[in-house]
Amino acid sequence: MATIIGGVATTHVPSIGKAIADKKQNDPYWRPFFRGFDYVHGWLAKEKPDVAVVFYNDHGLNFFLDKLPTFAVGAAKEYRNEDEGWGIPVSRSIAGDPDLSWHLINALVEDEFDITMCQDMLIDHAVTIPMALMWPGENWPVRIVPVDINTVQHPLPSLKRCLKLGQSIGRALESYPQDLRVMVVGTGGLSHQLDGPRAGFINKEFDQLCLDKIVAEPETLARYSIHDWVKESGAQGVEFLNWMAMRGALTGRVSELHRNYHIPISNTAAATVVYGNAKEVQRKAA
């Protein structure tokens, strides 16, 4: 059976890709952020995941405002990255796992999630930058199942709905008959706003609340409306929806193994976390 080994969440600001390309990891500006990945690298080397289910938001590369699904799940053999116009290098393609994708898609539809299924899907910096951060300078040793959540065009799905989406995927992963080691990834956030009178807005206190509550009390965060979330976290802080889905997919006893919070990266509050997911023995036996 598949095992959900844990989760990683990280910001995905495009300028990180440029910093990687220019080898600026040890520059004073970048060092506190990149050092936050030392623990992640050790954890991944120890845990050796086969597959990563990546919750992210497309920024107009694959979907645009004319057709924008609320939830889209990749079912491709391979996911291509293309030039997004940010000046960051186009990354290598990433291998998919269509069998697992279809298992998750079937389970989600069975669970009444009306998702869009994508047998051809481009992935943008919201997937490739976290991959490059997690596995720098080497072939990425996992297959992925990308799960895109609309954080771009309102109405957005609620935090509660995204938590439930993750929970549905978590249950589906647990029922997958292959012996796979699966990690879940949430990308984006934390607080930031790119435009309007509040451009550059960062809310450190609210970010800390999110990082504290998401481990053991994600339901507390799920009570926020999207409008209240924008108020507290900025217009693009809604990328936390990806974190909520990631957290939902951790079905066992969740613990924070690592946290790095650094402001700012570009105009974003950057956070990197690792969560363990121990099996709930009692729940399994019940």
What's the 3-state SS for 238-270?
Answer: HHHHHHHHHHHCCCCEEEEEEEEEEEEECCEEE
Residue 251: CB minimum distance to Fe ion, A: 27
Residue matched to tokens 């995941």: 49
210 contact partners, CB below 8 Å, separation of at least 6:
190, 221, 233, 240, 243
Name the one range near Fe ion by CB under 5 A: 17-25, 184-192, 218-226, 272-280.
184-192
97 or 124: whose CB is closer to Fe ion? Answer: 124
Of 185-193, 217-225, 241-249, 272-280: span binding Fe ion (CB under 5 A) = 185-193
Our CB check for Fe ion shows the closer of 12 and 143 to be 12
Of these residues, 59, 103, 125, 262, which one is catalytic?
125
- Complex with Fe ion: residue 7 or 186, whichever CB lies closer: 186
Least CB distance to Fe ion at residue 59 (A): 6
In whole angstroms, the minimum distance from the beta carbon of 188 to Fe ion comes to 5
86 or 135: CB nearest Fe ion = 86
The residue range among 19-27, 97-105, 182-190, 274-282 that interacts with Fe ion, by the rule CB under 5 A, is 182-190
Nearest alpha-carbon partner for 234 in 271, 201, 265 = 201
d(CA 53, CA 240): 16
**Least CB distance to Fe ion at residue 194 (A):** 9
Report the relative pairing of strands 181-187 and 253-265 from DSSP bridges.
unpaired
Give catalytic status of residue 12 as yes or no: no
Provide the minimum distance between the beta carbon of 122 and Fe ion in the complex, in angstroms, as a whole number. 15
Could you say which residues in the range 68-97 bind Fe ion, by CB under 5 A? none
6 versus 188: smaller Cβ distance to Fe ion? 188
**β partners of residue 253:** 278
Pick the catalytic residue: 192, 227, 258, 262?
Answer: 192
Size of the site for Fe ion (CB under 5 A): 1
Q: How far is the CB of 12 from Fe ion (least distance, A)?
A: 6
d(C-alpha 140, C-alpha 158), whole Å: 32
CA distances from 175 to 91, 113, 157, 169 (A): 32, 18, 26, 10
Tell me if residue 227 is catalytic: no
Q: Which of residues 207-266 bind Fe ion (CB under 5 A)?
A: none
210 membership: H or E segment, kind and range: helix 204-216
Nearer to Fe ion (CB atom), residue 254 or residue 269: 269
Contact stretch for Fe ion (CB under 5 A) within 42-50, 90-98, 136-144, 188-196: 188-196
Residues whose CB falls within 8 Å of the CB of residue 49, separated by 6 or more in sequence, listed in order? 5, 142, 181, 182, 183
Q: Write the DSSP assignment of 16-75 as a string of letters.
A: HHHHHHTT-TTSTTTHHHHGGGHHHHHHHHHH--SEEEEEE---SSS-BTTB--SEEEE-
Catalytic residue numbers, as ranges: 125, 192
Residues lying near Fe ion in the complex (CB under 5 A) are found at 188
